[in-house]
A and B are shown apart, each in its own frame.
Chain A
């Protein structure tokens, strides 16, 4: 067989695999989703609470990965959005005596506005400076909230309106919100990456100079990404604090949120959509197994991240891709296949 024939065959295999993936995606995802939606009727509160953590942290990791992996915007201060989102939800719901689930979309809008405003100073920094600059942003906001009386200062505030719900519905509603945030952010991410914006971002990521030269509005694409990722993280943070019923500045504006997101993305694979999914599974498996070891668990996790970055910068997903090159969400753009007759290739 000639090289071209091999290539053609591989292309055909790839297309077949692609088709099979499309079918399994159409069949499997509704089944998984239905199973997850029904969970409050068969799972206990502990399981629901764990899954709330899984889904919200997944969304946050997805947001971090969007920024770093697609926009080249490494944000060490992503927890800025967690704090803003959760405080927006709690204060809107408490002050207006609103049902927290009615207040949630307003909290999302608040984080989007916060993203737009914060872009003004932050986008003057690039690369590593942007990374640490966002951390300063999160820190200054934390100190501001810590010193603001009507936000409860250091003690934070409770989510008052949630006490009118009984325990089962409270748990179930928080669980469904987290599922909506997790699944919704995945759908949004895939849709965005398949759109013109996604193409623009990927071209900027691969070569900013070339992208600018071909007329890609790089700065607008990055700004849109910052607002979208910020809103995802803020909403996920708000839902996460719905589950704990109390928000404090030190917990919600904590670097540990961003640290978890970074670990998930680095372990799973930066710059892919599958990476955060794999990473979330690995992260929670490690946590459930080893969190009892306290500091040693974090030492191990940190070392693992360092080793991964040096040895396998593409994360677990890239290791898997070496053996099974699949594209779960159909995001990768392919070269159009030349429409030649098979006989023509063989000769």
Chain B
């Protein structure tokens, strides 16, 4: 029983990290209606940047965020300005195929620069520390990841709901051409949104890099977990993405208890089953 509770709690904590993977995807879907296929590869790229900073400057993994977050913001801004703005708002396949090509480029660039070997970032003072609460052991790192995830979702929620940028983003999401009429420079705005999405992704990348060894080809799997979190949560529902991530995390760890190789299988299975039962997602807003 205690082990089942432990699996559930760890599943929730892992799920909070998956939700954080999905946050960037959810933002770009909500505002620009596009799925970035390279999202997972950008998470992995962030992990590599963090490892370079950590080793090069000899700082703690979490300190590397000071560099990784602005670098990822700049990458997102540039990517949107130079490439993605050409295809946003067009047909379905143009953004998909451009980001698909980008995904292949990023994976192979990482392979060329860092070789195909797996890497990890050592931060024993958080990854090796755990608490024992009533016979249930919980690691500090998963707790920290979940805290960061909740914090970033709350921050994004506040920005969307209360700030000038948030009002702009809702206007552009509802009707880009009318938003342009009332003076929103949507191309520049999209660049800032993608920059923000990747800055949030930077946190996910660093926490992921401390938790799991990574390699250049690890991206697609991250994309699928992010995607499942977003779809399960209901499209355009920020906190839905968070709960979608929790479901995938719990399903994976419960599945891994059945058979150690089947964790991701059960995550995908739960995704497909919920999709059949509620195609609009679990927490979809009512159709307008």
Residues of A within 8 A of B (CB): 68, 72, 74, 76, 120-121, 124-125, 127-129, 131-133, 135-137, 139-140, 143-144, 146-147, 255, 259, 262, 266, 270, 294-296, 298-299, 301-306, 309-310, 313
Contact = CB atoms under 8 A, between A and B. Distances in A.
Contacts of B154: none
Contact of B87 (A131, A135, A310): A310
Interface centre among A128, A266, A305 (most CB of B within 10 A): A128
Contacts of A129: 35, 231, 235
A134 B56 CA distance: 40
A124 B98 contact: no
A303 B105 contact: yes
A128 B95 contact: yes
Interface of B: 29, 33-35, 37, 83, 86-87, 92-98, 100-105, 107-109, 111-112, 220-221, 223-224, 227-228, 231, 235, 259, 261-262, 264-265, 268-269, 271-272, 275-276, 279
Contact of A302 (B35, B93, B102, B276): B102
12 contacts: A68-B93, A121-B275, A125-B275, A128-B34, A129-B235, A143-B262, A143-B268, A294-B112, A302-B105, A303-B105, A305-B97, A309-B97
A124 B37 contact: no
Given A72-B93, A298-B104, 12 more contacts: A74-B93, A120-B276, A121-B275, A124-B279, A132-B37, A133-B275, A143-B262, A147-B259, A298-B108, A299-B104, A303-B105, A310-B86
A313 B272 contact: no
Contacts of A74: 92-93, 96-97
Contact of B98 (A125, A131, A310): A310
A125 B35 CA distance: 13
Contacts of B276: 120-121, 124
A77 to B, nearest CB: 10
Interface centre among B37, B93, B98, B221 (most CB of A within 10 A): B93
A306 B101 contact: yes
Contacts of A259: 100, 104
A83 to B, nearest CB: 15
Contacts, number: 122
Contacts of B269: 140
A136 B272 contact: yes
B83 A310 contact: yes
Contacts of B223: 132
Contacts of B86: 310
A124 to B, nearest CB: 4
The 10 closest A-B pairs by CB, nearest first: A302-B104, A124-B279, A302-B105, A305-B101, A140-B268, A306-B101, A295-B108, A128-B35, A298-B108, A295-B112
Contacts of B101: 266, 302-306, 309
Contacts of A76: 37, 96, 100
Given A299-B105, A302-B104, A143 B111 contact: no
Nearest to A68: B93
Nearest to B265: A143
Contact of B265 (A128, A135, A144): A144
B227 A306 contact: no
Given A136-B227, A299-B109, A309-B97, A147 B268 contact: no
A72 B83 CA distance: 22
Nearest to A311: B86
Contacts of B261: 143, 146-147
Interface centre among B87, B105, B111, B221 (most CB of A within 10 A): B105
Contacts of A136: 224, 227-228, 268, 271-272
Contacts of B92: 72, 74, 127-128, 131
Nearest to A131: B96
Interface centre among B104, B228, B231 (most CB of A within 10 A): B104
A132 to B, nearest CB: 5
A203 to B, nearest CB: 16
Contacts of B87: 309-310
B279 A125 contact: yes
A295 B35 contact: no
Contacts of A301: 104
Given A74-B93, A121-B272, A310-B83, A132 B104 contact: no
Contacts of A295: 108-109, 111-112
Contact of A124 (B94, B228, B275): B275
A302 B268 contact: no
Interface centre among A121, A144, A306 (most CB of B within 10 A): A306
Contacts of B109: 295, 299
B224 A135 contact: yes
Nearest to B216: A295
Contacts of B108: 295-296, 298-299, 302
